[in-house]
Amino acid sequence: MKNIFLVGMPSSGKSTLGRQLAKAIGYKFVDMDELIERHENQTIPEIFKWNGENHFREIESKILKQFSPNQKLVIATGGGVPCFFDNMDFIKANGISVFLNVQPEDLFKRIKLSDANNRPLINKSSGNQALFEDLKKRYQTRLPFYMRADIKIDGNIEVQQLLWLLDEINEKQS
């Protein structure tokens, strides 16, 4: 079975669901953001601050292209991965892609609930209205890229729906 790439907005659950999915199907889980941090020996906010977004995007694309199709991996991509360079072409050619579709209203709630403040593109201190507007705009801009995924699912899925997702993946591959 091919590698599985999870794509979607920040806070759509790629890392959370990716771990569960990998465990359920006996795959290894990898988080691209963690690979990038290890490669650069810096946190994501530090990379953005000291080297800029362009550098981050280049490293991100380089890390992506090191995957080969049949490594038995579930890969949580960063939210921007499908939207830069030919990354989405690579993903489609080298694995099964799953878009976790979570609406801006729900993303907003998740981001507000979480203590984490490690996403340089999401300014939690900018005020609720500005944060929500930014999420809506980013979601609309990115949607066409995410929609190229092989499978699109509502990101608010329950654990039992994971089984449906697995069936769907198997069908795509048979």
Ligand X SMILES: O=C(O)C1=C[C@@H](OP(=O)(O)O)[C@@H](O)[C@H](O)C1
- Binding string to ligand ADP for residues 40 to 79, with x set by CB under 6 A, is what? ------------------------------------x---
Among residues 146, 28, 16, 166, the alpha carbon closest in space to that of 91 is found at 146
15 binds Mg ion (CB under 5 A): yes
Q: Quickly tell me which residue has 């050619």 as its tokens.
A: 93
Choose the stretch contacting ligand ADP; rule: CB under 6 A; options: 7-15, 42-50, 130-138, 165-173: 7-15
**Closer of 13 and 104 to ligand ADP (Cβ):** 13
Choose the stretch contacting ligand X; rule: CB under 6 A; options: 61-69, 90-98, 113-121, 123-131: 113-121
Among 18, 78, 104, 155, binds ligand X (CB under 6 A): 78
Distance (Å, rounded) from C-alpha 125 to C-alpha 117? Answer: 10
Range 134-158 burial, b when 16+ CB lie within 10 A, else e: bbeebbeebeebbeebbbbbebeee
Distance (Å, rounded) from C-alpha 155 to C-alpha 8? Answer: 9
Contact (Cβ atoms closer than 8 angstroms) between residue 71 and residue 27: no
14 among annotated binding-site residues = yes
10 binds ligand ADP (CB under 6 A): yes
Residue ranges of the binding site for substrate? 33, 57, 79, 142
Name the site residues for ligand X (rule: CB under 6 A): 10, 14-15, 33, 44, 78-80, 119-121
